[in-house]
Homo-oligomer: A and B are copies of this chain.
Amino acid sequence: MTGAGRTTAPNSNGLALFTDLYELTMLQAYFEEGLHAPAVFSLFVRRLPQRRNYLLACGLDTVLEQLEGLRFEASDLDYLASLDRFSDRFLRWLEGFRFTGSVRAVPEGTPVFANEPILEVTAPLPEAQLIETLVMNQIHLQTVQASKAARLVTAAGGRQVVDFGARRMHGLDAAVKGARAFHVAGVTSTSNVLAGKAYGIPVSGTMAHSYIQAHHDESEAFAAFARLYPETVLLVDTYDTLEGVRRVIQLGDELGDDFRVNAVRLDSGDLGALARQAREMLDDAGLQQVGIFASGGLDEYAIGDLLAQQAPIDAFGVGTSMGISTDVPDLDIAYKLAEYAGEGRLKLSSGKPILPGAKQIFRRHQDGLFAGDIIGRQDENQPGEPLLQPVMREGQRLPAHTRDLDVLRSHTAHQLEQLPPSIRAIEPADTPYPVSVSPALQAHQDAVTRTVRARYAASGQGTHGGNAND
């Protein structure tokens, strides 16, 4: 580590033990066997789910921050010692553990496809191995979330989408990181106050049924809330949606020019029909400026249906479907050794091919749209924009890597505009986005496969009493 550009070492983030036990048992084996040559690991998604024409890479910022703060604390080492599997020598080595490797990655908010490396780590084998669980967990989560959110934003066709998912998302971390991933993907704001504080995301919210219920009179509740928050959104479906709208209009009559309510919120029933009736009632009352906000079990398909029937809805609150990505809550993500000690590596397990070595994605542009990708070797030249960029070197984040959410949002919006329309669409594309492997990478994979096969065939006659290979 050079220390350049950093004045103080980050504190431990308490995440060194966020790893699978086998990473640590392997680390001790690497330590004992002296296996600490540079390794390259690739993180990629093996195949796209049927309901995703593309994925939106997300989570890199989190990962870089977490790698910078990875330390084994005294209590971590005490715990590991209590497991009776680790030697004192190894635990002392862990005490000094730092991530000193390099990371190349696709920028957050960039569409990626099957087998394309979202990031590649180059580091001494034990370092690259230890971080597997953490890196996969964070990139998987946020890529799942951003990919889903982009579909909702697309379906909403320019109308605001607001994140209401915190209550049903899978835990605290998912809810906070999700709010950020959604915002990167184009979601306007979040109801999650902690996420607002953590990332500076705009926060928004209306009122709950319990507020109305705590009053004896819905009209009184509306009046009291609008007195305190003149530009609020009033929830009208606690007892009878259209009667609720009538009471909002009545409040408008009473307040006259002081009536500045922004919108009514519909949260149940036939949202399309209710929105049309509410719109008509509001317009008839001269309240054209009062918008209609819809929520309640919405996903991209429901939003698409509502807009196809021209429901006059101005904004959508989306919770569970986006928060958990309920239709595709997981991706077949993998973090695989691709090179060790300068040699390409792969496994031959059925149906799970690995592209060996450090790689690059080259994306061709044509007529303002993405026209196809080539996955090549890192050091080759192919036509198109190289997507993987250096973001961390010697364990330190590079200054070029942006953390500004507004910049990321603009980048993402511009990226999504460049997707071919059939790929950006909600429905499965008839033809997948074209991704090919370069001849050089294919030749490398063939050569490595031949070498691995030949070595495998030649070995297996015993352990030769030998040790590791480098």
Contact = CB atoms under 8 A, between A and B. Distances in A.
A15 interface: yes
Interface stretch (A107-115, A386-394, A452-460): A452-460
A469 interface: yes
A320 interface: yes
Given A173-B171, A463-B251, A164 B20 contact: yes
Determine which residue in A125, A214, A225, A333 has the highest number of CB atoms from chain B within 10 A of its CB, and name it: A214
Contact of A207 (B22, B197, B205, B247): B22
B350 A269 contact: yes
A193 B224 contact: no
Given A167-B20, A168-B140, A211 B83 contact: no
Contacts of A381: none
A314 interface: no
A122 interface: no
A416 to B, nearest CB: 23
A305 interface: no
B17 A193 contact: yes
Contact of A173 (B23, B24, B174, B232): B174
A127 interface: no
A39 interface: yes
A418 interface: no
A219 interface: yes
B21 A210 contact: no
A196 B79 contact: yes
A216 interface: yes
* Protomer copies: 2
B337 A210 contact: yes
A76 interface: yes
Interface string A430-457: 0000000000000000000000100110
Determine which residue in A20, A21, A174, A205 has the highest number of CB atoms from chain B within 10 A of its CB, and name it: A20
A72 B31 CA distance: 45
B348 A240 contact: yes
B460 A351 contact: no
Interface string A108-151: 00000000000000000100010011001110110010000000
Interface in A173-211: 173-177, 191-194, 196-197, 203-211
Interface string A58-75: 000000000000000001
A467 to B, nearest CB: 7
A218 interface: yes
Given A137-B167, A171-B173, A240-B348, A125 B214 contact: yes
6 contacts: A20-B167, A33-B224, A129-B208, A132-B208, A170-B170, A210-B337
Interface of A: 15, 17-26, 28-30, 32-33, 35, 39, 41, 75-76, 79-80, 83, 85, 125, 129, 132-133, 136-138, 140-141, 144, 164, 166-177, 191-194, 196-197, 203-220, 222-225, 228-229, 232, 237-240, 243, 246-247, 250-251, 254, 267-269, 320, 324, 326, 329-331, 333, 335-337, 340, 345-352, 452, 455-456, 459-464, 466-469
Closest 8 CB pairs of A and B: A171-B173, A21-B205, A22-B205, A170-B170, A171-B174, A210-B337, A216-B469, A223-B463
Given A17-B194, A26-B207, 12 more contacts: A18-B193, A20-B193, A29-B228, A79-B196, A80-B193, A137-B168, A141-B171, A210-B337, A212-B347, A213-B340, A219-B464, A222-B463
